[in-house]
C-alpha cells in the first residue's frame, strides 16, 4: 500500500469529515433524519475505510478486537441501564419522564442516553464483524 | 413528475436485479448489489421515509458491500457455471412472486389517510409527540421513547448478530495440542497460526508427504479444525 499516495492522502482527508458527520447524525437525530443506528454505521464505515487503506494491523493497534467486542456489549448495557435508572428514580422501565424535574427534559436525557447505547453497540458490532471477516486470510496455492 | 421518478427508479431497480442474477463475476455482482441498495434508498426518499433511506444507504450500500468483499476475498471472485438450468428455483420464484403480486391487489392504496395503519396509535404519536417529548423528529420520539422496548430488543438483536458471527468466524487462541501433518504437537502458548503453519510446511517438505493425512482432529477444538480447513483449502 506504500505506493498508493493518492488513496492514502484522500482517506486521511476524508476520515475526519466522516466522523464529524457521524456525530452530527447522532446529535441531530432529534431534529432531522438520523439517530444512533445510522451514526454507529457511519462511524464504523470511517473506521473500516481506515482499516482497508492502512491495513488491518494498524487498525488493530488503534482499537484491539477485545475493545470492539466490549463496545458491542457496553451499548446494550447503557440502554438497559437507562431503564434501570428510571426504575430506581421511581418510574417504570424506560420511563424517561422521571430523569429530570421537567418531564420533557427527562425525555431529552433519556433519548440521548439510549441513542448513545445504540451508537456504541452498532459501531462495536459492525467493526467486530469486519474484523472477523478480515482476520481470516485465504491461503494462496 | 413524481410518478416519472418512481417509474424510472423501479425500472433501474429491476435492471439491476436482473443484472445481478446474470453476472458470473461475483465482484461485479457485489458492486451491483451496492447500486441496488442506493437505488432503494432513493426510492425511500421519494416515499418521504428519509430515516429508512439513510439506514439503507449506510448499511446496504456501505458496510454490507465491504463485508461482501471480505467474503469474496475468502471464497474467490468467479461463480461456477450451473450444470443444468435451474427449473425448480425458477418455478418457486415465479409462484412466490405471483402470490405477492396477487396479495398487493388486496392492500389498501398507498399513502391513503383512511388506511388501517394510520388509524391505530399513529395519530396519537403524531399529535402528542410535541407535547410529550418536545422534539421535532417524530421518528426519533417513536423509536426511542414510545417504542423504547422495541429499540432495546433491536439493540440486543444487533449484539446477538455479533456473537453469532464471532462464534462462526472469529479465531480464538489455539488449543494446547493440535494434530498437524499427521502427528500431535503441543503448542507453546502465544504461538500464532502463521508460525505453526510455517513450521508444519517445513516438516511436510522434509518428509515429502503431501499433508492430506492431517484430517481427524479432536472435534470441538476450533483452532485445530481451522488449520485443517486451511490445509484442505490449499489442495482443493
The predicted-structure confidence for B119-176, as pLDDT tens digits, reads as follows 888 888 888 888 877 788 888 888 888 888 999 999 999 999 999 988 888 776 667 7
Residue B159 and residue A75 in contact, taking contact as beta carbons nearer than 8 Å: yes
Please judge whether B158 and A122 are an interchain contact, meaning their C-beta atoms are less than 8 angstroms apart: yes
- Domains in chain B (CATH in brackets) are 2-78 (1.20.120.1200), 116-169 (no CATH), 177-235 (no CATH)
Residues in chain B with CB shorter than 8 Å from the CB of A138 are 73-76, 233
DSSP bridge partners of B178: B185
From the list B54, B70, B159, the residue facing A125 with the nearest CB is B159
DSSP bridge partners of B185: B178
> Smallest Cα–Cα separation from B217: which of B188, B190, B184, B195?
B184
Dihedral of the alpha carbons of A26, A32, A33, A36, in degrees to the nearest 10: 20
From the list A38, A79, A130, the residue facing B66 with the nearest CB is A130
All three cell numbers of A21: 458527520
Please judge whether B161 and A80 are an interchain contact, meaning their C-beta atoms are less than 8 angstroms apart: no
pLDDT at position B19 over 90: yes
Give me chain B's average pLDDT, please.
Answer: 80
Whose grid coordinates read 492502512?
A: A54
What's the pLDDT tens digit per position in B85-103? 888 988 999 999 999 999 9
Looking at residue A2, its pLDDT comes to 61
What's the pLDDT tens digit per position in B120-135? 888 888 888 888 777 8
Poorest-pLDDT segment among A53-62, B59-68, B201-210: B201-210
Residues in chain A with CB shorter than 8 Å from the CB of B200 are none
Dihedral of the alpha carbons of A78, A80, A81, A84, in degrees to the nearest 10: 160
CA distances for A76 relative to A66, A84, A110, B162, B163, angstroms:
16, 12, 14, 12, 13
Whose grid coordinates read 502458548?
A: B189
- Per-residue model confidence as pLDDT tens for chain A (141 residues): 567 889 999 999 999 999 999 999 998 888 888 888 899 999 999 999 998 888 888 888 888 888 999 999 999 999 999 999 999 988 888 888 888 888 888 888 888 899 999 999 999 999 999 888 887 765 443
Poorest-pLDDT segment among B8-22, B35-49, B99-113, B188-202: B188-202
User: Own/partner pairs for A82-89, CB < 8 Å, 24+ apart?
Assistant: A82/A110, A82/A113, A82/A114, A82/A117, A83/B148, A83/B152, A86/A110
Q: Does A66 touch chain B (CB under 8 A)?
A: no
d(CA B13, CA B27): 19
Residues in chain A with CB shorter than 8 Å from the CB of B141 are 107, 111
Please judge whether B133 and A104 are an interchain contact, meaning their C-beta atoms are less than 8 angstroms apart: yes
* Shortest distance, CA B32 to any CA of chain A (angstroms): 19
From the list A44, A72, A132, the residue facing B169 with the nearest CB is A132
Q: Where are the domains of chain A?
A: 5-134
| Exposure string over A84-107, b if 16+ CB within 10 A, otherwise e | ebbeeeebeebbbbbbeeebeebb
* Shortest distance, CA B75 to any CA of chain A (angstroms): 8
The complex's ipTM works out to: 0.89
Q: Does B2 touch chain A (CB under 8 A)?
A: no
Q: Does A76 touch chain B (CB under 8 A)?
A: yes
Amino acid at each position: 500500500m506504500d505506493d498508493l499516495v493518492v488513496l492514502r492522502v484522500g482517506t486521511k482527508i476524508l476520515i475526519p469529515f466522516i466522523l464529524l458527520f457521524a456525530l452530527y447524525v447522532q446529535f441531530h437525530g432529534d431534529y432531522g433524519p438520523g439517530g444512533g443506528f445510522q451514526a454507529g454505521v457511519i462511524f464504523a464505515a470511517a473506521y473500516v475505510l481506515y482499516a482497508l487503506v492502512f491495513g488491518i494491523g494498524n487498525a488493530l493497534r488503534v482499537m484491539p478486537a477485545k475493545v470492539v467486542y466490549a463496545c458491542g456489549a457496553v451499548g446494550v448495557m447503557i440502554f438497559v441501564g437507562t431503564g434501570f435508572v428510571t426504575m430506581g428514580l421511581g418510574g417504570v422501565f424506560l420511563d424517561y419522564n422521571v430523569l429530570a424535574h421537567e418531564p420533557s427534559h427527562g425525555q431529552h436525557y433519556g433519548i440521548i442516553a439510549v441513542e448513545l447505547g445504540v451508537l456504541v453497540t452498532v459501531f462495536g458490532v459492525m467493526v467486530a464483524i469486519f474484523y472477523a471477516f478480515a482476520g481470516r486470510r485465504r491461503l494462496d496455492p | 413528475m413524481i410518478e416519472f421518478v418512481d417509474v424510472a427508479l423501479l425500472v433501474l431497480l429491476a435492471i439491476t436485479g436482473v443484472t445481478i442474477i446474470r453476472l458470473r463475476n461475483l465482484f461485479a455482482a457485489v458492486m451491483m448489489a451496492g447500486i441496488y441498495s442506493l437505488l432503494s434508498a432513493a426510492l425511500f426518499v421519494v416515499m418521504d421515509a428519509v430515516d429508512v433511506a439513510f439506514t439503507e444507504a449506510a448499511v446496504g450500500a456501505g458496510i454490507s458491500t465491504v463485508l461482501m468483499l471480505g467474503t469474496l476475498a475468502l471464497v474467490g471472485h468467479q461463480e461456477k457455471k450451473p450444470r443444468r438450468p435451474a427449473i425448480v428455483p425458477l418455478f418457486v420464484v415465479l409462484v412466490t412472486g405471483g402470490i405477492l403480486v396477487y396479495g398487493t391487489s388486496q392492500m389498501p392504496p398507498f399513502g391513503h389517510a383512511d388506511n388501517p395503519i394510520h388509524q391505530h396509535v399513529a395519530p396519537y404519536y403524531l399529535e402528542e409527540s410535541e407535547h410529550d417529548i418536545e422534539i421535532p423528529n417524530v421518528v426519533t420520539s417513536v423509536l426511542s421513547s414510545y417504542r423504547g422496548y422495541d429499540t432495546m430488543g433491536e439493540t440486543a438483536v444487533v449484539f446477538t448478530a455479533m456473537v453469532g458471527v464471532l462464534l462462526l468466524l472469529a479465531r480464538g487462541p489455539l488449543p494446547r495440542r493440535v494434530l498437524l501433518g499427521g502427528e500431535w504437537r503441543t503448542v507453546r502458548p502465544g504461538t500464532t497460526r502463521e508460525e505453526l503453519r510455517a513450521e508444519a510446511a517445513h516438516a511436510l517438505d522434509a518428509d515429502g508427504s503431501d499433508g492430506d493425512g492431517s484430517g481427524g482432529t479432536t472435534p470441538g477444538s476450533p483452532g485445530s479444525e481451522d488449520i485443517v480447513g486451511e490445509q484442505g483449502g490449499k489442495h482443493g
